[in-house]
Amino acid sequence: MPEFDLRFSKEQIASRIEVLAAQIDRDYAGKNLILLVVLKGSLHFASDLARKMKLDPPIDFIQLASYHDDTKSSGIVQLKKDHDMTIEDRDVLIVEDIVDTGLTLEYLRELLEARRPASVSCVSLLAKPDAHQREVALEYVGFDIKNEFVVGYGLDHAEKYRSLPFIAVLRNPV
Protein backbone atom coordinates (compact mmCIF):
# COMPACT_ATOMS: atom_id res chain seq x y z
CA MET A 1 0.00 0.00 0.00
CA PRO A 2 1.30 3.48 -0.79
CA GLU A 3 2.17 5.65 2.19
CA PHE A 4 1.98 9.41 2.03
CA ASP A 5 3.45 12.34 3.93
CA LEU A 6 0.83 15.04 3.67
CA ARG A 7 1.94 18.44 2.40
CA PHE A 8 -1.36 20.22 1.59
CA SER A 9 -4.80 19.02 2.62
CA LYS A 10 -7.92 19.28 0.50
CA GLU A 11 -9.06 22.18 2.70
CA GLN A 12 -5.77 24.06 2.44
CA ILE A 13 -5.82 23.70 -1.33
CA ALA A 14 -9.43 24.89 -1.59
CA SER A 15 -8.90 27.97 0.54
CA ARG A 16 -5.73 28.97 -1.32
CA ILE A 17 -7.57 28.60 -4.64
CA GLU A 18 -10.32 30.94 -3.42
CA VAL A 19 -7.72 33.62 -2.75
CA LEU A 20 -6.04 33.11 -6.13
CA ALA A 21 -9.39 33.23 -7.95
CA ALA A 22 -10.33 36.52 -6.32
CA GLN A 23 -6.92 38.01 -7.12
CA ILE A 24 -7.14 36.92 -10.77
CA ASP A 25 -10.72 38.23 -11.05
CA ARG A 26 -9.52 41.61 -9.83
CA ASP A 27 -6.42 41.74 -12.04
CA TYR A 28 -8.21 40.69 -15.22
CA ALA A 29 -11.43 42.70 -14.91
CA GLY A 30 -12.11 44.35 -18.28
CA LYS A 31 -9.38 42.35 -20.03
CA ASN A 32 -9.62 39.77 -22.80
CA LEU A 33 -8.67 36.81 -20.62
CA ILE A 34 -8.29 33.23 -21.77
CA LEU A 35 -7.27 30.41 -19.43
CA LEU A 36 -4.75 28.09 -21.03
CA VAL A 37 -4.68 24.86 -19.06
CA VAL A 38 -1.53 22.74 -19.30
CA LEU A 39 -2.52 19.07 -19.39
CA LYS A 40 -2.56 16.77 -17.67
CA GLY A 41 -1.44 17.71 -14.19
CA SER A 42 -3.51 20.89 -13.98
CA LEU A 43 -6.88 19.25 -14.52
CA HIS A 44 -8.21 19.50 -10.96
CA PHE A 45 -6.55 22.84 -10.21
CA ALA A 46 -7.89 24.45 -13.39
CA SER A 47 -11.37 23.09 -12.83
CA ASP A 48 -11.53 24.32 -9.23
CA LEU A 49 -9.91 27.68 -10.02
CA ALA A 50 -12.19 28.42 -12.98
CA ARG A 51 -15.29 27.60 -10.96
CA LYS A 52 -14.23 29.91 -8.14
CA MET A 53 -13.66 32.79 -10.56
CA LYS A 54 -16.42 35.25 -11.36
CA LEU A 55 -15.07 36.27 -14.79
CA ASP A 56 -16.08 33.06 -16.59
CA PRO A 57 -13.29 33.29 -19.20
CA PRO A 58 -12.93 30.93 -22.17
CA ILE A 59 -10.79 27.89 -21.41
CA ASP A 60 -8.45 26.08 -23.77
CA PHE A 61 -5.93 23.30 -23.34
CA ILE A 62 -2.38 22.56 -24.35
CA GLN A 63 -0.46 19.42 -23.51
CA LEU A 64 3.22 19.34 -22.82
CA ALA A 65 5.30 16.61 -21.27
CA SER A 66 8.71 16.44 -19.73
CA TYR A 67 8.70 13.82 -16.99
CA HIS A 68 8.16 10.45 -18.62
CA ASP A 69 7.19 8.26 -15.65
CA ASP A 70 10.22 9.21 -13.62
CA THR A 71 10.56 11.40 -10.56
CA LYS A 72 12.98 13.68 -12.41
CA SER A 73 12.50 15.98 -15.36
CA SER A 74 13.98 14.68 -18.58
CA GLY A 75 14.94 18.25 -19.47
CA ILE A 76 13.24 17.86 -22.84
CA VAL A 77 9.83 19.47 -23.33
CA GLN A 78 7.49 17.96 -25.89
CA LEU A 79 4.40 19.62 -27.35
CA LYS A 80 1.80 16.86 -27.39
CA LYS A 81 -1.35 18.87 -28.13
CA ASP A 82 -1.62 22.50 -29.20
CA HIS A 83 -4.43 24.86 -28.16
CA ASP A 84 -7.40 25.38 -30.50
CA MET A 85 -8.49 28.99 -29.92
CA THR A 86 -6.57 31.96 -31.24
CA ILE A 87 -4.66 33.86 -28.59
CA GLU A 88 -3.76 36.90 -30.69
CA ASP A 89 -4.54 40.11 -28.74
CA ARG A 90 -5.79 38.07 -25.79
CA ASP A 91 -4.58 38.07 -22.21
CA VAL A 92 -3.39 34.51 -21.73
CA LEU A 93 -3.19 33.05 -18.25
CA ILE A 94 -1.31 29.75 -18.24
CA VAL A 95 -2.65 27.37 -15.59
CA GLU A 96 0.00 24.97 -14.28
CA ASP A 97 0.02 22.48 -11.43
CA ILE A 98 3.74 22.83 -10.74
CA VAL A 99 6.77 24.79 -11.88
CA ASP A 100 9.75 22.61 -11.10
CA THR A 101 12.86 23.27 -13.24
CA GLY A 102 10.95 25.98 -15.13
CA LEU A 103 11.85 24.44 -18.50
CA THR A 104 8.22 23.73 -19.43
CA LEU A 105 7.13 27.26 -18.60
CA GLU A 106 10.06 28.77 -20.47
CA TYR A 107 9.24 26.68 -23.54
CA LEU A 108 5.55 27.54 -23.34
CA ARG A 109 6.08 31.27 -22.89
CA GLU A 110 8.31 31.38 -25.96
CA LEU A 111 5.80 29.42 -27.99
CA LEU A 112 2.90 31.66 -26.97
CA GLU A 113 4.72 35.01 -27.25
CA ALA A 114 5.36 34.26 -30.94
CA ARG A 115 1.59 34.13 -31.44
CA ARG A 116 1.20 37.81 -30.50
CA PRO A 117 -1.05 37.68 -27.43
CA ALA A 118 -1.78 40.93 -25.56
CA SER A 119 -0.09 39.40 -22.50
CA VAL A 120 1.06 36.09 -21.06
CA SER A 121 1.08 35.31 -17.35
CA CYS A 122 1.09 32.12 -15.34
CA VAL A 123 -0.65 30.78 -12.27
CA SER A 124 0.85 27.64 -10.77
CA LEU A 125 -0.55 25.86 -7.76
CA LEU A 126 2.95 24.78 -6.72
CA ALA A 127 6.43 26.14 -7.28
CA LYS A 128 9.78 24.63 -6.32
CA PRO A 129 12.10 27.66 -6.10
CA ASP A 130 15.13 25.50 -5.23
CA ALA A 131 14.69 23.43 -8.40
CA HIS A 132 14.29 26.29 -10.86
CA GLN A 133 16.95 26.17 -13.57
CA ARG A 134 15.48 29.14 -15.35
CA GLU A 135 14.37 32.56 -14.17
CA VAL A 136 10.91 32.45 -15.65
CA ALA A 137 8.22 34.88 -14.59
CA LEU A 138 5.54 33.29 -12.45
CA GLU A 139 2.85 35.79 -11.53
CA TYR A 140 0.66 33.72 -9.20
CA VAL A 141 1.74 30.84 -6.95
CA GLY A 142 -0.43 28.76 -4.65
CA PHE A 143 2.34 27.29 -2.50
CA ASP A 144 6.12 27.12 -2.60
CA ILE A 145 7.43 23.65 -1.81
CA LYS A 146 10.80 22.10 -1.09
CA ASN A 147 12.65 20.18 -3.77
CA GLU A 148 10.80 16.93 -3.19
CA PHE A 149 8.59 14.82 -5.44
CA VAL A 150 4.90 15.26 -4.70
CA VAL A 151 1.80 13.52 -5.99
CA GLY A 152 -1.96 14.07 -5.79
CA TYR A 153 -4.46 16.68 -6.90
CA GLY A 154 -3.43 16.19 -10.54
CA LEU A 155 0.22 15.34 -9.97
CA ASP A 156 1.18 11.79 -10.87
CA HIS A 157 3.82 9.18 -10.46
CA ALA A 158 3.74 6.92 -13.53
CA GLU A 159 0.15 8.11 -14.17
CA LYS A 160 -1.04 7.11 -10.68
CA TYR A 161 -2.29 9.24 -7.78
CA ARG A 162 -3.67 12.12 -9.89
CA SER A 163 -7.07 11.91 -8.24
CA LEU A 164 -5.96 12.02 -4.62
CA PRO A 165 -7.72 15.01 -3.03
CA PHE A 166 -4.52 16.12 -1.25
CA ILE A 167 -0.88 16.77 -2.16
CA ALA A 168 1.71 14.53 -0.53
CA VAL A 169 5.16 13.05 -0.76
CA LEU A 170 5.07 9.41 -1.76
CA ARG A 171 7.12 7.53 0.84
CA ASN A 172 7.60 4.33 -1.06
CA PRO A 173 7.52 5.02 -4.83
CA VAL A 174 7.06 1.76 -6.77
Residue 30: C-alpha distances to residues 21, 25, 47, 91 (Å): 15, 10, 22, 11
Smallest gap from residue 124 Cβ to ligand PRP (A): 8
CB of residue 134 vs ligand PRP: minimum separation in angstroms? 8
Q: Do residues 51 and 18 make contact, with C-beta atoms less than 8 angstroms apart?
A: no
- Judged by beta carbon, residue 35 or residue 98, the one nearer ligand PRP is 98
The nearest distance, CB 86 to ligand PRP, in angstroms, is 22
Q: How far apart are CA 172 and CA 1, in angstroms?
A: 9
Nearer to ligand PRP, 26 or 134 (CB): 134
In degrees rounded to 5, what are phi and psi of residue 140?
-130, 130
d(CA 103, CA 136): 9
| Annotated catalytic residue within 89, 100, 144, 156 | 100
15 or 133, CB closer to ligand PRP? 133
Query: In the complex, which residues of this chain contact ligand PRP (CB under 6 A)?
Result: 38-41, 64-67, 73, 96-105, 156
Q: Is 25 a catalytic residue?
A: no
Could you give the 3-state DSSP secondary structure of residue 80? strand
- Nearest-5° Cα angle at 14, 148 to 155: 35
- Nearer to ligand PRP by Cβ, of 87 and 126: the residue is 126
Closest CB 30 distance from ligand PRP, rounded Å: 29
* Residues labelled as active-site residues: 100
